[in-house]
Structure 1
Amino acid sequence: MILIIDDVPEVRMLLGHMLRAGNLSVLEAASAEEAYRILDVERRNGPPPLVSAILMDVELPGQDGIEAVCLIKSNPRLAEIPVIVVSGREDEACLVNAFMAGAIDYVTKPVTQVQLLTRVRGALRLALESERRREREAALAAANAALRRDKPSLTGIDPGTGLPDLSALPALLSGRLAADLWLFSGEIDGWTNLSVAAGETGAALVKRQVLTLLGAVPGRVGDQMLVLPDGAFALLARRPTAKEALLLADTLCRAIYDATIPHPRSSGWPCITLSIGCARGDGLEARAQAAREQAKLDGGNRAVADDVPSAGMM
């Protein structure tokens, strides 16, 4: 249904005849106020009216066409209806004001049937494409919501880094072969002192920087970083031997030490350092944490692999 808004009966009759010749249905209004009653413009919620497009004259009795377009476009129930301004005015100011108000096209009178039908059908096609896009976006949003409901174990994402948190670890472990899987349990040395000196926000920024640097370490294709509370983190990686696992852990420690991130209250090193413990096999979480605690006791800035002697950086 095409709504023609024009105060001249002959113009409404002519435009209506052209549209009906193109197999389009027509409604007519002689003023903006009459169009508002047809559109039920005061109602802002619910389904839109059975109007597919609007042909709007500019010079109307009472409220003019530009003001009418603004009011229609400000109503969320009507905002998607395409408006084509059909006016006898050709000045640039009127054209600019029409588009600023929300019109999608501007046609000057007198208009031919071919010109009118082409513009109206183009507006209807654009409106249909926009509606289909919104439907696809809504369906995608619903599918994503359903996926999050169906996969609760994979929704534990740290908002600061975008990495999985500890709640995702069981799901990550269940989908991998454990024979060559190592768990690296790491911690920023002197985290408590760092939090006191830099504050919660400052410490969080340091941790984010550390995790970003660790993520850029070469040779970690297929590995998965996880965010743990406070200054801790974890890494799941496939390494066939303890020697290779310890080499990776040493590389991670070295990457952070070489970055020389200032530590405002370190007890042993002049910059941010890591202690990392790594283990594989049964009970790897507890054993990796125990190895990490041993690395801290040995002075920090080092890696300890389960059942392998400590290897310090310096």
Structure 2
Amino acid sequence: MTSPFCTIVPPHLLEKLAADGRESAQRTLQADSALRTRRRVTTLRAAQSAPASALTGTPRRAVHDAEHTETLPGREVRAEGDAPVGDATVNRAHAGLGATFDLFMKVYGRDSMDGSGMPLIATVHYGVDYANAFWDGSQMVFGDGDGDLFLDFTLPVDVIGHELAHGFTQHTANLEYYGQSGALNESVSDVFGALVKQYALGQSAAEADWLIGAGLLGPGVDRGVALRSMKEPGTAYDDDVLGKDPQPGHMDDYVRTSRDNGGVHINSGIPNRAFHLLATELGGNAWERAGLIWYDVMTGGALAPDTGFAEFAAATVAAAKARYGDAAELQAVTKAWAAVGLPVD
């Protein structure tokens, strides 16, 4: 089973910055293109799963330092059980891997991303001013950013959760990374990335900011708070350098494009908003009832790799009914999808 090359910063944003002459964006696009080419002509490293005897319900983390090269995984600098090191980036990556593991293990009873205790591997200081973070099918990779438009990609814990959640999708529904199924792949990562952050901070749905990548944008961005807003898609940034956040929050504004694998980072705003509406309607902690419904759908075997928005919405309604019956949860999930233009009969 393989996973697409999934980045947190969408290609359309990097392409705009590169066209404006931003060297860090140009280098990032070149690095990403080389990685995608390698994935087409070589077999992806298989994600390592622990043998059944090794499953303990505790993470097995390893953080590596690429030392500003593009060679993976790099030199191991902190293993599971090691004390913090003098590099804050390494320590943040280690902590973020642990926070993601904790959500899946303690809330959903899932032992790592594959459910079988797979090691959580990360590489930091990738490339030169690399303005992205990605999941490559078996490990996390973080750039340092250029310090102007993007800061260190280990700073927002939801970015770490987002990318690791691509591994969760890889080992469950394995949603194809194109069009609506690809937008769902991205949305599921935003959902669980947000839940990692909320769980780590002990925030209720009402207290959370529902931003993906808050704290990532650098001093060169005047009008921007994050990469995406799940609460109000399309409002994360509106900046002279970055441009306008293109995400829609309703099917009336669905973007049809061949770029970005059919708009996977753009149209993900629609299911993102549906989840936010559900979580805030139910109240309390989003990782509980709302998160359980999404988790049940992803692990229940009902999704095809090419599942679209309507099929996913119907699956969440069925999952809510199976877990909660005709209670408030069922009404709330139906209401949430109707509010984004996807009514479920």
The TM-score normalised by the length of structure 2 is: 0.22
**Greater Rg, structure 1 or structure 2?**
1
Where relative contact order (Cα < 8 A, 6+ residues apart) is larger, the structure is 2
Structure (1 or 2) with the greater strand fraction: 1
Structure (1 or 2) with the greater helix fraction: 1
The TM-score normalised by the length of structure 1 is: 0.23
